[in-house]
Amino acid sequence: MTDPGAPADAAVIRPARRVGGTLAVPGDKSLSHRALLFSALAEGPTVLEGLGTGQDVASTRAAIAALGVTVRQEGPRVHVTGRGLDGLKPPAAALDCQNSGTTLRTLMGLLAGRPFTTTLIGDASLSTRPMRRVADPLRAMGAQIALSDGGRPPVVVTGGALSALRYELPIASAQVKTALLLAGLQAQPTAALDGTTVVEPAPTRDHTERMLRAMGADLVVDGPEVCIRPGRLSPLCLGAVYSVPGDLSSAAFFLVAGALLADRPLRLARVGVNPTRTGILDVLAAAGAEVRQEELSLDPAGEPVADLWLQRSELRAVDIAGDLTVRAIDELPVLAVLLTQARGRSTIRDAAELRVKESDRIAATVRMLRDMGATVEERADGLEIVGPTPLHGATVAAGHDHRIAMAAAVAGLAAVEGDTHIQGASAASVSFPSFFDTLASIVD
């Protein structure tokens, strides 16, 4: 499938006749960020295993260590000795979030209430991403936030006393919600507000709410409103180990490969199936793919976990919009690959948020699919795809975006002929360093 002689930052994917077998994917990236960050704020020790292995999670781990939190690796487990909010220390240098928007935005909320100044920086890609959407409500709570030209990183946060706020998110964003809830954990009530309330225009992933409640936060969810009151956090899974479920966004690439190529069952073990994240499963089902969930259970943080099974199916066109787009936002590039093989005209709408990810994912996905022979049209907030259309190997650029690199690999497997050369394939290491080896393991 892959060419071991390819350049260090490139991968060559050969078409596959079929895929199948059993595999595990890395720990959920969103949950890994939160488990590390919230454990740093708890008062006592937390033991974590199965953390995401990518560079993004490593950025959060390095950041909490720089804030004075003891983080120790023992075999597959990571021990975090939480210092509580008041125990955090000013970092000796700027906190480098590298490519992780989650790290930078959530730290903005955390540091907004701490009585010191911190500079947050990132790589060239992260330095182009918008931060005003986080800075504006934090300023309204009393924090001093300085942004660079265009409202982008570097970000300088001078924290201090915060006041509770009621804030309606103009754009659905779990990262912004989490930042505001972390600030709200530190914000004092006002005459009108006994806690900080975030109002969502559409449901986003609720990992923050589930995990904070499991750690004893005074948090209430009422429809689209999430209210948090100031307080302390207890360690996650006190006296036990918290094992992070597999990442559904990482599993997505194998789910699509299975729907296109698996002539025998493909099983993904112990994957997180939080309903705010399962848009991809709904899209697969709507397209005619047969997906089963088995061994469904709740983990100690309140997260549903299951084994996923599927195999090749006859596919039909689907429309992805509204709430479904929000619940599948990270998986849309690889779902676009799936839809090139679905009969009819498929649409992806309400996805303008993809324009400000690690790349402009709408433009990057359209460019990649067109290069491989797909019939696809770019729209301001999404794309239209007509299928089924045979894909052909081509040279494609990942554009420093891990999800584009991995989506291109799945498209390369599904091609009817020709090798696919992915330039910048190392971007996959942001979330899934072993992606190409894992993909090779399921190809017959």
Task: Specify the pLDDT at position 4.
Answer: 45
Which residues, 6 or more positions from 401, have their beta carbon under 8 angstroms from its beta carbon?
125, 357, 358, 359, 361, 364, 427
Check whether domain 10-27+245-441 has CATH 3.65.10.10, yes or no: yes
| For range 297-302, the mean pLDDT | 93
Q: Is 387 exposed, middle or buried (0-12, 13-18, 19+ CB in 10 A)?
A: buried
Task: Specify the pLDDT at position 227.
Answer: 98
Tokens describing residue 46: 């937390």
Q: In what order do the strands lie in the sheet with 166-168?
A: 166-168, 196-199, 225-229, 218-222
Name the DSSP class of 303: -
Q: Which residues of 198-218 are buried (b: 16+ CB within 10 A; e: fewer)?
A: bebebebbbbbbbbbbbbbbe
Residue closest to 115 by CA, chosen among 137, 83, 93, 142: 142
SS3 track for 367-412: HHHHHCCCEEEEECCEEEEEECCCCECCEEECCCCHHHHHHHHHHH
Do the Cβ atoms of 84 and 114 come closer than 8 Å? Answer: no
| For range 178-204, the mean pLDDT | 96
Q: Whole-angstrom Cα distance, residue 120 to residue 157?
A: 8
pLDDT band of residue 312 (cuts 50, 70, 90) is confident
DSSP strand pairing (304-311 vs 290-298): antiparallel
Do the Cβ atoms of 144 and 119 come closer than 8 Å? Answer: no
Name the DSSP class of 28: P
Tokens describing residue 365: 């996905």
Tokens describing residue 424: 């910048």
Do the Cβ atoms of 339 and 304 come closer than 8 Å? Answer: no
Q: Whole-angstrom Cα distance, residue 425 to residue 59?
A: 20
Residue closest to 326 by CA, chosen among 351, 304, 361: 351
What is the CB neighbour count within 10 angstroms for residue 222? 9
How much is the pTM? 0.90
Tokens describing residue 68: 């004075």
Per-residue pLDDT tens digits for 359-418: 899 999 999 999 999 999 999 999 999 999 999 999 999 998 999 999 999 999 999 999
What's the number of CA atoms in the CB half-sphere (13 Å) around residue 93?
Answer: 5
Mean pLDDT of the chain: 94
Name the DSSP class of 86: G
Which residues are known to be catalytic? 330
Helices 361-371 and 402-414, packing angle to 10 deg: 20
User: Distance of alpha carbon 221 from its chain centroid, rounded?
Assistant: 22
- Superfamily the domain 29-228+236-241 falls into: Enolpyruvate transferase domain (3.65.10.10)
Range(s) within the chain of domains with CATH label 3.65.10.10: 10-27+245-441, 29-228+236-241
Residue closest to 101 by CA, chosen among 71, 52, 134: 134
Per-residue pLDDT tens digits for 75-88: 999 999 998 999 99
Do the Cβ atoms of 177 and 224 come closer than 8 Å? Answer: no
pLDDT band of residue 1 (cuts 50, 70, 90) is low
Helices 361-371 and 332-339, packing angle to 10 deg: 30
Task: Specify the pLDDT at position 263.
Answer: 85
Task: Specify the pLDDT at position 3.
Answer: 53
What percentage of the chain reaches a pLDDT higher than 70?
A: 98
Q: Report the C-alpha dihedral over residues 268, 276, 164, 142, rounded to 10 degrees.
A: 70
Per-residue pLDDT tens digits for 43-68: 999 999 999 999 999 999 999 999 99
Whole-number Cα distances in Å, 308 to 21, 247, 280, 386, 438: 12, 12, 12, 28, 16
Q: Whole-angstrom Cα distance, residue 340 to residue 194?
A: 51
Q: Whole-angstrom Cα distance, residue 62 to residue 51?
A: 14
pLDDT band of residue 444 (cuts 50, 70, 90) is confident
Q: Whole-angstrom Cα distance, residue 410 to residue 214?
A: 37
Look-up: residue for tokens 């992606």?
A: 435
Q: What is the DSSP string of 98-156?
A: TT-HHHHHHHHHHHTTSSSEEEEE--TTGGGS--HHHHHHHHHHT-EEEEETTTEEEEE
Task: Specify the pLDDT at position 238.
Answer: 79
Q: Whole-angstrom Cα distance, residue 109 to residue 337?
A: 36
Q: Is 49 helix (H, G, I), strand (E, B) or coil?
A: strand
